[in-house]
Amino acid sequence: MKRKIRQKYQSSGVDVEIADKIKLAIGKQARTTFNTNAQSFGSFGSLFKLDGCKEPVLVSSADGVGTKLKIASLVNKHDTVGSDIVNHCVNDILCSGARPLFFLDYIAMSKLLPEQVEAVISGIAKACREVGCSLIGGETAEMPGIYLTGTYDLVGFIVGVVEKNNIIDGSLICAGDLILGLPSSGLHTNGYSLVRRVFKIEEEPSRLYDFYPELGGTLGDELLRVHHCYYTEIKPVLPLIKGLAHITGGGFEGNISRILPNGTCGHLSKRSWEVPPIFNLIQKRGDIAEEEMYQVFNMGIGMTVVCSAQQVDNLIGFLPQAKVIGEIINTTRGKTVVID
């Protein structure tokens, strides 16, 4: 009877046996990220022991990779987007000063393809290991009729912790503070819908294999660069920092404004850093206004750090790639970020 039921379910587009095999493979990858706090894997709820904190405040975030997944599918390279989703989530909770504790993933597709899923999970596990974060659970869903064949969705959920007295919320930011920028590794995980349209990738996927001298590689390789994780480099200098803004969707204005106190404005100078070639290529190919570029893309700056002027030399000593890209000023106007 059980076999007959499974055959019926399989005929509707869901293969339980393949799902079971994939879950076993995921479990092996996940256990490579475990530490002594991870208590279980594969149960109805994942367990994680919290210790070593006096006044712990949990910090959580959820995000997706967006349409960068389309590029991964067309190039048939899926491990990098696995790392992308972890690094994106780690960077988000880092903005509050949190260290990552555990991560869960959600992968959904029309038909489960073991090689595809295992590649994604290998990227997730690799990124988790690099920051000491345990992959303790998730969901792998086969949903025929919802997703197109060959495509999938990937979402990540992270929980971190910070001591209450060490929370970074931007409340100490004031006029005279300086803004440092840390370089991105490319587009990270934003603006891909526009990029796909600019290069007409849907109509001609082969364009992903075109070589561009200014990029030093193919378009596909450039677009699949892993979203850089800033946790390891920033962690030692968190006590020197007043505010952190992860430059993702919404660009500089949409993200720096989230950490600024009322009455202050972030004044950025475009001339203070070199914009990587990929952004110039996108702007030229798409005939996109410069203002829109700075609203959609990170333009080569993946994380901004706000600190007092007295701490700049100390921070740059630890973060040699950081550049002073702006300052905090007082304002009576509504706009909280100005770029010139």
| DSSP secondary structure letters along 302-320 | EEEEEE-GGGHHHHHHH-T
Report in angstroms the alpha-carbon separations of 145 from 14, 31, 148, 164, 224: 11, 33, 7, 46, 27
> 244, 306 in Cβ contact below 8 A?
yes
CA neighbor of 112 nearest in space, from 84, 64, 151: 151
- Per-residue model confidence as pLDDT tens digits over 171-217: 999 999 999 999 999 999 999 999 999 999 999 999 999 999 999 99
pLDDT at 1: 47
pLDDT mean over 136-146: 89
CA neighbor of 138 nearest in space, from 160, 162, 158, 112: 158
pLDDT for residue 98 is more than 80: yes
Q: By mean pLDDT, which of 75-84, 99-108, 205-214, 324-333 is the weakest? A: 324-333
- Tell me the whole-structure pTM to 2 decimals: 0.90
Query: HEC states along 265-286?
Result: EEEECHHHCCCCHHHHHHHHHH
Fold held by 178-339:
Phosphoribosyl-aminoimidazole Synthetase; Chain A, domain 2 (3.90.650)
Q: By mean pLDDT, which of 17-26, 96-105, 329-338 is the weakest? A: 17-26
| Those residues with Cβ within 8 angstroms of residue 194's Cβ, 6 or more apart along the chain or in another chain | 282, 286, 288, 296
Report long-range pairs for 317-321 (Cβ below 8 Å, ≥24 apart): 318/233, 318/236, 318/237, 319/180, 319/182, 319/233, 319/234, 319/237, 321/182, 321/183
Locate the domains of the chain by residue range. 2-42+53-166, 178-339
- CATH superfamily of domain region 2-42+53-166: PurM-like, N-terminal domain (3.30.1330.10)
> 245, 256 in Cβ contact below 8 A?
yes
pLDDT for residue 225 is more than 90: yes
- Per-residue model confidence as pLDDT tens digits over 45-73: 777 778 888 899 999 999 999 999 999 99
Structure tokens that stand for 177 in this block? 């503070």
Report in angstroms the alpha-carbon separations of 180 from 220, 266, 269, 271, 325: 30, 11, 11, 13, 5
- In terms of C-beta density within 10 A (0-12 exposed, 13-18 middle, 19 or more buried), how is residue 2 classed? exposed
Q: Report which secondary-structure segment, H or E, holds 259.
A: none
Q: In angstroms, how far apart are the furthest CA atoms of the chain?
A: 74
pLDDT mean over 253-281: 94
pLDDT mean over 306-327: 96
